[in-house]
Amino acid sequence: MSGNKAYLGFDIGGTKIAVCIGSGDGKIVASERIVNAEREPGDVMDQMVSAAKGLMSSQGITDKDISAIGIGAPGPLDIEAGVMYASPNMKKWDNIPIVDFISGKFRPKVHLDNDANAGALAEWLFGAGRGRKNMVYLTMSTGIGGGIIAEGKLVRGRDLLAGEMGHIVLDPDGPACGCGLRGCYEAFCGGKSVAQRIMSDLGQQPDHPMMKLAGGDRSKIGYPILIEGVRMKNGYALSLWDDICLRNAQALGGFMNILNPEMIVLGTIALAAGNLLLDPVKKLLPRFAWPQMIKDVEIRPSELGNKIGEYSAISVAAYYGRGA
């Protein structure tokens, strides 16, 4: 392990949980995935511990070799108490004292943060944002979350709730958001919201080209089908894509004017769409941000890609383990 440092990480998701060991220089040296869907938390947590001990044994390390343990998990969380509460995709995981449980199985200190902050730390420490002091990271999948690095520190806020960037209101008369507000960035551009909009517009038109792309499987309706439709120059897809690009530019421009970041790193959807998303968004930015802000920032997709879960958990351990 680089610098004699090793980190143990648990990336908790609704479908799968990644258990991993990482080195101080940002290498994942061992990992294992555990199925979580439709299982009881107690059984899953026991398997998490078993998997972690197995990975440690395979690497010839013990508790004394682990500098810190990190957990990245979806909210809502009570980070100070180390407790997970039920999220839309993890309803059984309610009032789970995850930090106390893991602390009871291992000696190193255990640190918890939400998955969006963990992703920001991962891209900052080991991904696209290495060496930057001011960076914004946006998860862009089912919903939109975010993490902010400002002057070399993660911004956490008074109640450790900072970074809810998907819930900046872009239009108070816009669509309802799952958070209870209207017209949030997530309500316009989150994957779930986009799928719902397509179904609302086209759900009664099974012969529409966009619906045919899904092969009659409504569960496939969402960003992948929309992106395919855009590439095929379908009129409906192009119109919706124009609106999504506009709303992304509106949100990113606001973040730029407030935070003046050196870099904005975009997650899943940007990875899938690439310049199909980035080029029009960049062209629209002058409507929403000052020229100097635009000049200062680099906007790019995640560097860590589908490995960001493992890196997120390790990054929580590395960041808080150094006394941040």
Contact 168, 184 (CB under 8 A): yes
**Please, are residues 271 and 303 in contact by the beta-carbon 8 Å criterion?**
no
CB-based burial label for 101 (10 Å; 0-12, 13-18, 19+): middle
Helix axes 235-259, 275-284, angle to 10 degrees: 60
Q: What's the pLDDT at 130? A: 95
pLDDT over 90 percentage in the chain: 87
User: In Å, how far are 198, 242, 250, 259 from 280, measured between CA atoms?
Assistant: 21, 8, 12, 22
pLDDT in tens, 43-75: 999 999 999 999 999 999 999 999 999 999 998
Select from 223, 228, 73 the least CA-distant residue to 140: 223
**Whether the domain at 2-115 and the domain at 128-303 fall into the same CATH topology:** yes
Give the pair of three-digit tokens for residue 213.
Answer: 């792309």
What is the tens place of the pLDDT at every residue in 239-294? 999 999 999 999 999 999 999 999 999 999 999 999 999 999 999 999 999 999 99
Domain 2-115 indexed as CATH 3.20.20.70: no
Residue range 177-226, pLDDT digits in tens: 989 999 999 999 999 999 999 999 998 999 999 999 988 788 889 999 99
- In the chain, domain spans: 2-115, 128-303
Structural domain 128-303, CATH architecture: 2-Layer Sandwich (3.30)
User: Residue 253's closest CA among 282, 278, 285, 277?
Assistant: 285
Instruction: Kindly state the average pLDDT of the residues 163-178.
Output: 96
pTM reported for the whole predicted model? 0.94
Residue 312: name the closest of 44, 2, 31 by CA.
31
Of 63, 47, 147, nearest in space to 106 by CA: 63
Q: In whole angstroms, what is the distance from residue 40 CA to residue 65 CA?
A: 31
